[in-house]
């Protein structure tokens, strides 16, 4: 073949650097999208608070609206009924709680000198004696002066905010936005979920749909049940501290303990400590302290053996430590919005961890076995053939691909024995 007939040498491809595998590139794209969404949430946290609260209300009301739809009502009518019911419940709670809270706060303010005198004359000297501290360790006058100074600065800030037209407009806007946004989200909830489903990449849509169903199961059961537990504990502690222990601030302590009970043991610790101090200041005897201890002991038994098993259930899987960490981390990263989103995020993370654990158990990293000694055991058996003298032989049991391989002694001609 002449040079003119020879095929030309292939032109080398331009060097563009190493190419990523399509699966790896897709995972990096999903990670980048997730990071951008998280950064936007962190950046817009102050603005997103009313929208997050409205989304939680819509999420809580959607199952009831779906049930009314199954009874034959249209979506708009079903949502209107649920929304009116939620408004009536909120209005009734405000009409009942606002006067009660105002009276309780006035009671605390009026009795504040008694609390200060009890701290100066009883609590601090007792701590100094038990902890063997110097008398000058607790300078009560300086502590009280610092408290008054900070309270005064807080009052000035509140006064400035109250006089600020921008602050008033923003607060009123948030209050008005929550029910409006909640109504539209509740009306279009199923449509929004279908839109999100259509926008998901088709390669991961089945996995995301499965994880979303699991997260909805965990979050729905936990949040709806926990709200009922909080209300029940608030009513129980408030009524019992007022009727049994006779505390004038019992309803206020009960409401605070109930509201804080969504964080495990936080409501109990805060309510118990406040009730003990209130009993010592108001009565100054051990009888009412024992009554307070009895009330909170009964409340813990009621919560652990009746309310949580019946209303929340024992299959949710949100460990108390996980709840505490989620609330603290959410509050630190995103403020009050992070506290609102802590439980939803914890439930999603829990479902993801379960899914990853199942995938790990099905992977070769978990199931693949390394090289092992093929000899499982060596046993001595007694062979007693017909017409022969009994003899003892060593049988070596080896691992095979399917079942055990039995070899008698070291002689390969001997038959295998079981």
Instruction: Using alpha carbons, list the distances in angstroms from residue 321 to 222, 246, 260, 329.
Output: 15, 34, 15, 12
Give the burial class of 78: count Cβ atoms within 10 A of its Cβ; 0-12 exposed, 13-18 middle, 19 or more buried.
buried
DSSP line for 254-269: HHHHHHGGGSTTHHHH
pLDDT at 295: 93
Whole-number Å distance between alpha carbons of 251 and 278: 12
**What would the two tokens of residue 108 be?**
């605390």
Q: SS3 of 13, please?
A: coil
DSSP-assigned letter for residue 135: T
Q: Between 149 and 329, whose confidence is greater? A: 329
Reply yes or no on whether the pLDDT at 180 is more than 90: no
- If pLDDT is split at 50, 70 and 90, which confidence band does 41 have? confident
The mean pLDDT of the chain is 74
Q: What is the mean pLDDT of the segment spanning 201-212?
A: 81
Q: What is the mean pLDDT of the segment spanning 102-110?
A: 81
pLDDT at 161: 46
Whole-number Å distance between alpha carbons of 275 and 257: 10
pLDDT at 309: 79
Q: What is the mean pLDDT of the segment spanning 389-411?
A: 47
pLDDT at 139: 61
Rg (CA), the chain: 34
**What would the two tokens of residue 65 be?**
């609206």
Q: What is the mean pLDDT of the segment spanning 280-300?
A: 89
- If pLDDT is split at 50, 70 and 90, which confidence band does 401 have? very low
Reply yes or no on whether the pLDDT at 269 is more than 80: yes
What does the pLDDT look like over 129-170, one tens digit per residue?
Answer: 777 666 665 566 666 666 555 555 545 544 554 445 555 555
Range name among 63-67, 144-148, 336-340 with the lowest pLDDT average: 144-148
What does the pLDDT look like over 307-326, one tens digit per residue?
Answer: 877 777 655 566 777 777 88
According to DSSP, the residues that pair with 380 across neighbouring strands are 394
Whether the Cβ atoms of residue 69 and residue 78 lie closer than 8 Å to each other: yes
Whole-number Å distance between alpha carbons of 350 and 215: 8
What does the pLDDT look like over 225-260, one tens digit per residue?
Answer: 888 888 999 999 999 999 988 888 888 899 999 988
Q: Between 292 and 103, whose confidence is greater? A: 292
According to DSSP, the residues that pair with 219 across neighbouring strands are none
Closest CA to 406 of 394, 417, 391, 414: 417
Whole-number Å distance between alpha carbons of 303 and 232: 9
pLDDT at 297: 93
Whole-number Å distance between alpha carbons of 144 and 140: 6
Reply yes or no on whether the pLDDT at 86 is more than 50: yes
Reply yes or no on whether the pLDDT at 298 is more than 90: yes
pLDDT at 138: 59
Closest CA to 50 of 179, 164, 220, 227: 179
pLDDT at 19: 58
Query: pTM of the prediction?
Result: 0.62
pLDDT at 418: 41
Closest CA to 50 of 345, 331, 337: 337
Identity of the highest mean pLDDT range in 19-23, 39-43, 412-416:
39-43
Identity of the highest mean pLDDT range in 38-47, 286-295, 362-371:
286-295
Q: SS3 of 395, please?
A: strand
Q: SS3 of 183, please?
A: helix
Whether the Cβ atoms of residue 219 and residue 344 lie closer than 8 Å to each other: yes
Whole-number Å distance between alpha carbons of 194 and 75: 15
Whole-number Å distance between alpha carbons of 346 and 403: 45
**What would the two tokens of residue 398 be?**
């080896």
Whether the Cβ atoms of residue 409 and residue 416 lie closer than 8 Å to each other: no
Give 3-state DSSP helix, strand, coil % of the chain, rounded to 5: 75, 5, 20
- If pLDDT is split at 50, 70 and 90, which confidence band does 304 have? confident
Q: What is the dihedral of CA 219, 225, 226, 229, to 10 degrees?
A: 180
Range name among 9-13, 26-30, 84-88, 242-246 with the lowest pLDDT average: 9-13
* Number of DSSP helices (H) and strands (E) in the chain, helices first: 15, 3
Q: What is the mean pLDDT of the segment spanning 174-202?
A: 85
Whether the Cβ atoms of residue 288 and residue 246 lie closer than 8 Å to each other: yes
pLDDT at 280: 86
pLDDT at 356: 86
pLDDT at 350: 79
């Amino acid at each position: 073949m002449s040079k003119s007939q020879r095929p030309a040498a292939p032109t080398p491809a331009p060097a563009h650097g190493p190419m990523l595998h399509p699966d790896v590139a897709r995972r990096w794209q999903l990670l980048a999208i997730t990071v951008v969404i998280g950064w936007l949430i962190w950046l817009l946290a102050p603005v997103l608070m009313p929208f997050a609260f409205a989304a939680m209300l819509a999420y809580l009301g959607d199952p009831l609206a779906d049930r009314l739809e199954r009874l034959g009502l249209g979506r708009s009518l079903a949502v209107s009924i649920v929304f009116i019911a939620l408004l009536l419940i909120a209005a009734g709670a405000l009409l009942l709680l606002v006067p009660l809270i105002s009276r309780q706060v006035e009671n605390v303010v009026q009795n504040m000198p008694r609390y200060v005198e009890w701290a100066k004359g009883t609590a601090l000297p007792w701590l100094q004696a038990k902890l063997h501290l110097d008398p000058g360790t607790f300078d009560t006058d300086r502590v009280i002066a610092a408290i008054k100074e900070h309270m005064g600065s807080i009052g000035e800030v509140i006064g400035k905010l109250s006089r600020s037209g921008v602050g008033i407009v923003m607060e009123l806007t948030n209050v008005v936005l929550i029910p409006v946004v909640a109504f539209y989200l509740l009306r279009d909830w199923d449509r929004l979920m279908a839109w999100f489903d259509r926008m998901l990449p088709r390669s991961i849509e089945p996995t995301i749909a499965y994880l979303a169903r699991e997260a909805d199961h965990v979050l729905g059961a936990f949040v709806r049940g926990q709200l009922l537990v909080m209300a029940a504990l608030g009513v129980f502690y408030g009524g019992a501290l007022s009727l049994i222990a006779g505390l004038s601030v019992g309803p206020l302590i009960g409401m605070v303990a109930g509201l804080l009970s969504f964080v495990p043991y936080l409501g109990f610790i805060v309510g118990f400590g406040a009730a003990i101090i209130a009993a010592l200041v108001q009565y100054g005897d051990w009888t009412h302290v024992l009554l307070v201890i009895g009330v909170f002991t009964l409340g813990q038994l009621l919560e652990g053996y009746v309310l949580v098993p019946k209303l929340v259930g024992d299959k949710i899987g949100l460990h108390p430590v996980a709840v505490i960490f989620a609330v603290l981390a959410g509050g630190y990263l995103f403020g009050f919005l992070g506290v609102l989103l802590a439980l939803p995020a914890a439930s999603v993370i829990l479902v993801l961890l379960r899914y990853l654990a199942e995938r790990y158990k099905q992977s070769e990293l978990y199931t693949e076995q390394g090289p092992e000694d093929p000899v499982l055991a060596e046993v001595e058996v007694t062979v007693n053939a017909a017409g022969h003298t009994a003899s003892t032989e060593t049988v070596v049991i080896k691992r095979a691909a399917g079942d055990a391989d039995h070899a008698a002694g070291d002689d390969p001609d001997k038959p295998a024995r079981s």
